[in-house]
Structure 1
Amino acid sequence: MAQFKRHRRLRSSANMRSIVRETYLHIEDFIYPLFIVEEENTKQEVPSMPGVYHLSLDYLVKEVQSIVDLGIKSIILFGVPNDKDEVGSCAYHEEGIVQKSIKLVKEHFPELVVVADTCLCQYTSHGHCGVIEDGYVENDKSLELLVKTAVSQAQAGADIIAPSNMMDGFVAAIREGLDEAGFVDTPIMSYAVKYASSFYGPFRDAAHSTPQFGDRKTYQMDPANRLEALREAESDLAEGADFLIVKPALSYLDIIRDVKDSFNVPVVAYNVSGEYSMIKAAAQNGWISEKEIVLEMLTSMKRAGVDLIITYFAKDAANWLSENEK
């Protein structure tokens, strides 16, 4: 008989597969997103995101306690304000909804890592991530407001600033602003590689951040481009980024691998709302096994090279991983 490799020897039992497994998920890998609203006594499910809620401050501590009890080490906060204006002033107000949320969480859970999303889109009346002039997002004037937002979030107690606006020079501007304000040790988790993706729809429902005109293609990346991602990541690192986010995750695993192979910093995948909602919808229809699909998907992101995953599945995945360890 001709000689051939017997690869199945290493797949013969569950324990055999376990001891040769190359990639593992850990609960510590997850960053759980939360949407905080200014109403009181509110825990309302986002229609397009089953299991994800708008939470008022009076529900926040209980929700965060459930996250901490699962062993999740970090959250990212998104504010959903009642009032919007042309320049998104509620984004950088010291009593803004995110600033209040950060203070509350750090008061009760000082060891939890709190990431603050730093953008203007859900705070502006036009839904874009910066200042509008003649129908165009003005880059440099937007930077001034983003710096004010980042500094206000750091003053509130945020452990990590995560700017998601994709303005040119945003990391450099925010790094300088944080340093001048005395926050030299506050790291920046840059949305370095953020594509103009169709997978964001449910998030815009949750954050009330849909653009009122046009789209975001003049500042978010073309999904067809690969090398541009490396240029964006290289620029952000040179400007002072400490983490690099690739967003979305599932359709951009090749980009994640490129970024990880090219830069020696922690890489973060954002497992975005559309990826979440599609799986939830299929599971609710009985077409897939949600647990197996989710763990396989998250493992693929780790295998591609990420160190951390922002995911709405964090609580579910943490429960499943804990069950598997018993």
Structure 2
Amino acid sequence: MDNLNFRRNRRLRNTSGLRSMVQETVLRKEDFIYPIFVVEGEDVKNPIASMPGVFQLSLDHFAAELDEVVSLGIPSVILFGIPNVKDAVGSQAYASEGIVQQATRFAKERHPGLVVIADTCLCQYTDQGHCGIIENGNVLNDPSLELLTRTAVSQAEAGADIIAPSNMMDGFVAAIRQGLDEAGFESIPIMSYAVKYSSAYYGPFRDAAHSSPQSGDRKTYQMDPANRIEAMREAESDVAEGADFLIVKPALSYLDIIRDVKDNFTLPVVAYNVSGEYSMVKAAAQNGWVNEKDIVIETLTSIKRAGADMIMTYHAKDAARWLEEK
């Protein structure tokens, strides 16, 4: 044993104090964006069966949710609307009294310092469930851009701090940027769903937002999970068109893509820890198969370690509490 020469890496793990001092990735509650589903009506608090702990909320219940988010120190929410009426062109997405517009005004009046992000898409609002206008079974790109731009401007008029277009139409950032600028909203940033895969992990969200396609799928506009280089092309396009943030969605199966985006672009990177990822953890925890607190903190830390500057996650409230306990 006298001649052995090796590194004693364990020296820096001996105590919790040492481990804290050399920790490379720090997860903070300020990293979180909390998604909220808002619906029309009164006294609506519908539990989402596939997403335990998450609800569809009318504005009267939305108030308590906002208060809790702010009290926990979570800096931002992203709003998804579920309208009472849907039509072929998703007109409630850009209506001045649409549910997201109402919720945005409500949130900014109640908590002016809370950063309100508006999801900008048509799928929850169209009767066919796609992110654009349908003609002969095809999703039309350019005509859909006009409606998405109207939606973004309407959301900005309602007071949204950030516009987050999630539709994956070609040119959507350029169209929305031009529309916002022409409407006098040059200072409103765009948080682009730049790299959005056609993923099976979205299943619970579609239950929550009532946004499943009535026919076909979204593979003509969302990305193939097998593709990596394509993600760089998508992100590069959005950077050139004027995006201010780049979202990668989903997160866990695409940690390599998060790292690629972080390494290749200088914009802030947002990872969306999506509904299916959340629901799997919840189901395993409810069955006693995993320690929920430990696995959530480990999961979110891995997403940040991969390169995410911010994380959209349904775990945000629980994680914020757990981080305070550390």
Letter in 1 for 2:307: G
Inter-partner Cα distance in structure 2 for 1:111 and 1:19? 32
Letter in 2 for 1:239: E
Name the counterpart of 1:246.
248
Task: Give, in angstroms, the shift of residue 81 of structure 1.
Answer: 0.6
Name the counterpart of 1:177.
179
Inter-partner Cα distance in structure 1 for 2:210 and 2:45? 16
- Local SS of the residue matching 1:126: coil
Task: Give, in angstroms, the shift of residue 2 of structure 1.
Answer: 2.3
Inter-partner Cα distance in structure 2 for 1:225 and 1:83? 36
- Local SS of the residue matching 1:216: coil
Name the counterpart of 1:293.
295
Name the counterpart of 1:302.
304
Within 5 Å, give how 1:75-224 maps onto structure 2.
75-224=77-226
- Local SS of the residue matching 1:40: coil
Q: Does 1:34 align with 2:36?
A: yes
Query: What per-residue deviation string (whole Å, max 9, x for no partner) do you get for residues 109-163 of structure 1?
Result: 1110000000000000000000001100000000000000000000000000000
Query: What per-residue deviation string (whole Å, max 9, x for no partner) do you get for residues 234-263 of structure 1?
Result: 000000000000000000000000000000
Inter-partner Cα distance in structure 1 for 2:94 and 2:44? 23
Q: Moved runs in structure 1, 4+ residues, more than 2 A?
A: none
Gaps (5+ residues) in structure 1?
none
Inter-partner Cα distance in structure 2 for 1:273 and 1:306? 18
Inter-partner Cα distance in structure 1 for 2:89 and 2:41? 22
Task: Give, in angstroms, the shift of residue 197 of structure 1.
Answer: 0.3
Inter-partner Cα distance in structure 1 for 2:34 and 2:177? 24
Inter-partner Cα distance in structure 2 for 1:63 and 1:308? 20
Letter in 1 for 2:221: Y
Query: What per-residue deviation string (whole Å, max 9, x for no partner) do you get for residues 245-299 of structure 1?
Result: 0000000000000000000110000000000000000000000000000000000
Letter in 1 for 2:218: R
Inter-partner Cα distance in structure 2 for 1:136 and 1:10? 58
- Local SS of the residue matching 2:259: helix
Inter-partner Cα distance in structure 2 for 1:141 and 1:172? 14
- More displaced stretch, 74-83 vs 36-45: 36-45
Task: Give, in angstroms, the shift of residue 323 of structure 1.
Answer: 1.1
Task: Give, in angstroms, the shift of residue 39 of structure 1.
Answer: 2.1
Letter in 1 for 2:176: I
Inter-partner Cα distance in structure 2 for 1:261 and 1:140? 31
Query: What per-residue deviation string (whole Å, max 9, x for no partner) do you get for residues 155-210 of structure 1?
Result: 00000000000000000000000000000000000000000000000000000000
Inter-partner Cα distance in structure 2 for 1:179 and 1:214? 35
Gaps (5+ residues) in structure 2?
none
Query: What per-residue deviation string (whole Å, max 9, x for no partner) do you get for residues 292-316 of structure 1?
Result: 0000000001100110000000000
Q: Which of 252, 265, 273 is the equivalent residue of 1:271? A: 273
Task: Give, in angstroms, the shift of residue 13 of structure 1.
Answer: 1.0
Identity of matched residues, %: 72
Inter-partner Cα distance in structure 1 for 2:60 and 2:68? 14
Letter in 2 for 1:290: E
Query: What per-residue deviation string (whole Å, max 9, x for no partner) do you get for residues 204-228 of structure 1?
Result: 0000000000000000000000000
Letter in 1 for 2:290: I
Q: Does 1:49 align with 2:44?
A: no
Name the counterpart of 2:264.
262
Task: Give, in angstroms, the shift of residue 60 of structure 1.
Answer: 1.1
Inter-partner Cα distance in structure 1 for 2:129 and 2:190? 24
